[in-house]
Structure 1
Amino acid sequence: MSYTLTTADKNAAQMMRDDERFNHFVARVCEHQELWILTDEHGCMMLTSDDDEDCIPVWPHADYARDWARDDWSHCTPEALSLQVWLARWVPGMEEDELLVAVFPTLDETGVVVEPRELEEAIVRKQKQGRHN
C-alpha cells in the first residue's frame, strides 16, 4: 500500500537527524503497513555498521531505497515487505542470525542501528498509540 512521496517530503526526511528519521520510519511503516529493503539475485542486501555489525537496511518508501542503490549496490532493486511478514518472519530470523537493522539510512549515514526486536517494540508502541487517538 505504497504512498506518493513528493520531492519536498523526500528532501525534508533526508535532512532529519537519525533519531527523527527513525521516528518518521516507524510512523510511515505503521501507517502504510509496509517497509522496503534492497534485493538482488542473491537475496537481501546487507551492510556493515561502523561497529562491524551486519545489518539489513530498511526504508519507509521504495524511492529512498532506490536512491540508496548506487555504486556497489546499483544492481539492487527495492522490494516491499508487509509489516505483518516483517514482524512474523524477519524479526525472529534476524535475531536467530544475529543481524541488526539499519533504519532509514541516507547516502552519507548508516541510520539508526538497532536490534530487530527493538524496532518491533517501537512499531508496536506506535500502533498502540494510534489505536488510542
Structure 2
Amino acid sequence: MSYTLNDADKAAAEKMNDDQRYNHFVNKVTEHEQLWILTDEHGCMMLTSDDDEDCIPVWPHADYAKAWAVDDWSECKPEAITLKVWQSRWVSGMEDDELLVAVFPITDAAGVLVEPRELQDAFDRKKKSGRKD
C-alpha cells in the first residue's frame, strides 16, 4: 500500500540527516508494509560503499527511488517489495550473499549502511511498539 508524497515531503527528506532518514524509512515501511528498490533488465541494482561493501539501496517511496535513478542508473525503475517478502526472502538472501542495506540514500548522502537482520529487527521493534511517530 503506497502513500502520496508531495514536494514538501521530498524537500523535508532532503534536509534530514542519515539517522533521521533511517528512522523515517523504518516508520514509513512499517506503516505501509512495503519498501522500494531499483531494478533493470538484469535485476536489483547494487552499489559499493566507500568502504568497499556491496549494498542494496532501499527507499520508503517510489518517488525517492526514481530521484536516485539518474546517470548510470537512468534505465532503472522502482519496484515495490512487501515487508512480508522482505522478511521471508530478502533478509536471509542478502545475509547469504554478504550484502548490506543502504537505507534511504539521497543525492548527496549514501544513507545508513546496516546488516539486513539489523534492519528487520528495527521493523520488528517498530511493529511491536505500535507507534506511528
Per the shorter chain, which TM-score range? over 0.9
Q: Which runs of 5+ in 2 are unaligned?
A: none
Q: Which runs of 5+ in 1 are unaligned?
A: none
- The CA deviation at 1:50 is 1.1
Question: Which residue pairs with 1:42 in the alignment?
Answer: 42
- The CA deviation at 1:14 is 1.7
Question: Which residue pairs with 1:130 in the alignment?
Answer: 130
Q: Equivalents in 2 of 1:71, 1:35: separation in Å?
A: 23
**Cα RMSD between the aligned structures?**
0.7
| Deviation digits for residues 41-80 of structure 1 (CA, Å, limit 9, x no counterpart) | 0000000011100000000000000000000000000000
- The CA deviation at 1:108 is 1.2
TM-score, scaled to structure 1: 0.97
| Deviation digits for residues 107-130 of structure 1 (CA, Å, limit 9, x no counterpart) | 111100000000001110000111
- What secondary structure does 2:75 align onto? coil
Q: Equivalents in 1 of 2:109, 2:48: separation in Å?
A: 12
- The CA deviation at 1:13 is 1.2
Q: Equivalents in 1 of 2:49, 2:99: separation in Å?
A: 11
Q: Equivalents in 2 of 1:35, 1:50: separation in Å?
A: 24
Question: Which residue pairs with 1:100 in the alignment?
Answer: 100
Q: Equivalents in 2 of 1:7, 1:79: separation in Å?
A: 21
Pairs aligned (count): 131
- What secondary structure does 1:110 align onto? coil
TM-score, scaled to structure 2: 0.97
Q: Equivalents in 2 of 1:100, 1:127: separation in Å?
A: 22
Structure 1: 4+ residue segments shifted above 4 A: none
Question: Which residue pairs with 1:21 in the alignment?
Answer: 21
